[in-house]
Amino acid sequence: MVLLSGYASAHEWTPTYPKLEYSFLNNIMVTKMNLYNNRKDVEYYEVSVYDKDWIPIKFSVGEGKIVHVSYLERKSVDVYIRKKDERRVVYVCSQSKSRVGEKGVTFLSSRICSKIK
Amino acid sequence: MFKQALIASTMFLTFNALAQSEVPITGNVASKCVITTDTPGVYGQPTTNVLSTNPQDGGVTPIVRYDIIEADAYKAQISYPNAFTSSPVLNDVVNWAGAVEVSEVSNSEMAAFETNKIEWDNVTEFDLTLAGSVWFKIDSIADYGYEKSFPGGIYRASVLAECIAK
């Protein structure tokens, strides 16, 4: 009766202070983030966006809000936000996800949040 | 004349070889926070109704490391478990307890992280005011019902380690 697993492994989400820029779409802003997965036990990360009170804000990511990043892979993630939400957006986060029922399920869920300034 | 030409060509070849051996190295040090699972946690079972990560109870305390590149850019929030992510069917309440503490630091001044930490619910917040590496240990205890035995099976729980830009 026991459990839990993990490895000496890391999660990076940069830059710390990203900026919103105009995208190629009307009334849509974009911020370019970089995700680096050095966790053998994790393949998926969920992107989320919040205002200053941690209320979720609608956004879109090209390949979906759950991003697949292989071990030791570095991926550029474009986060699209509506122009009308430009002033509300504060936190852009990524959080590691584990698969239900997967052998050696992650004991540590890591979340890193960058801040729009 | 021939000797002079030979010396000149040798010097040119040597210089050329030296010039070609100069490989530029560039680097970019950017502000960032890196979260690393240093030691995975394991629950031990000191009694039939308790699961604990305390080594004295047969468990292994999970340890997470934060690498901080720029001082005063992030705060850490670490949450010990308050539910199982998977377990056998449980018919009674599980009472959760835990604690998060600084276990090691790369700079002795980081001891202030522990002194100034803020706790609420199952969350502990540390203001990462100094650059370097800091290790946090997370204790977790699950107590089932009123001295009830946990049903046999695999129990999993999750620690949430967050790094939030200030």
Q: What is the pLDDT of residues B30-85, one digit of tens each?
A: 668 899 988 888 899 999 999 999 999 999 999 999 999 889 999 999 999 999 98
Determine, yes or no, domain membership for B108.
Answer: yes
Q: Which member of B64, B70, B86 has the closest CB to residue A108?
A: B64
Nearest to B80 by CA among B96, B98, B102: B98
Q: Which residue has the tokens 């202070």?
A: A17
CA dist., res. B63 & res. B42, Å (int): 11
- Asked if A103 reaches chain B (Cβ–Cβ under 8 Å), the answer is no
**Mean pLDDT lowest among A52-56, B28-32, B82-86, B135-139:** B28-32
CB–CB of A79/A31 below 8 Å? yes
Domain interval for residue B94? 31-165
Determine, yes or no, domain membership for B145.
Answer: yes
Q: Do A16 and B64 touch (CB under 8 A)?
A: no
Q: Do A2 and B157 touch (CB under 8 A)?
A: no
What is the predicted pLDDT for the residue at A41?
Answer: 83
Q: Which residue of B has its CA nearest to A109?
A: B160
- Asked if A106 reaches chain B (Cβ–Cβ under 8 Å), the answer is yes
Alpha-carbon distance B22 to nearest alpha carbon in chain A (angstroms) = 28
Q: Do A2 and B159 touch (CB under 8 A)?
A: no
pTM listed for this prediction: 0.83
Q: Which sign does the torsion angle of CA B100, B84, B155, A99 carry?
A: negative
Determine, yes or no, domain membership for B7.
Answer: no
**Mean pLDDT lowest among A2-6, A35-39, B3-7:** A2-6
* CATH classification of the domain holding B45: 2.60.40
According to DSSP, the β-strands at B156-157 and B159-165 are: unpaired
Q: Which residue of A has its CA nearest to B166?
A: A115
- Residue B81 preceded by cis peptide, ω within 30: no
pLDDT tier, A52 (very low <50, low <70, confident <90, very high otherwise)? very high
Determine, yes or no, domain membership for B6.
Answer: no
Determine, yes or no, domain membership for B143.
Answer: yes
Percentage of residues in chain A having pLDDT higher than 90: 71
Domain tally for chain B? 1
More confidently predicted of A90 and B28? A90
* CA distances, B27 to each of A35, A77, B24, B30 (Å): 18, 22, 10, 10
Determine, yes or no, domain membership for B148.
Answer: yes
- Asked if B155 reaches chain A (Cβ–Cβ under 8 Å), the answer is yes
Question: How many inter-chain contacts (A to B, CB under 8 Å) are there?
Answer: 125
Hey, which residues 28-57 in chain B have their CB within 8 Å of chain A? 30-45, 51
Give me the domains of chain A, ranges plus CATH numbers: 10-100+108-115 (2.60.40.10)
Determine, yes or no, domain membership for B12.
Answer: no
Percentage of residues in chain B having pLDDT higher than 70: 84
What is the predicted pLDDT for the residue at B40?
Answer: 84
Hey, which residues 39-98 in chain A have their CB within 8 Å of chain B? 39, 41, 91, 98
Question: Which H or E run contains B19?
Answer: helix B2-20
CA dist., res. B10 & res. B16, Å (int): 10
Determine, yes or no, domain membership for B1.
Answer: no
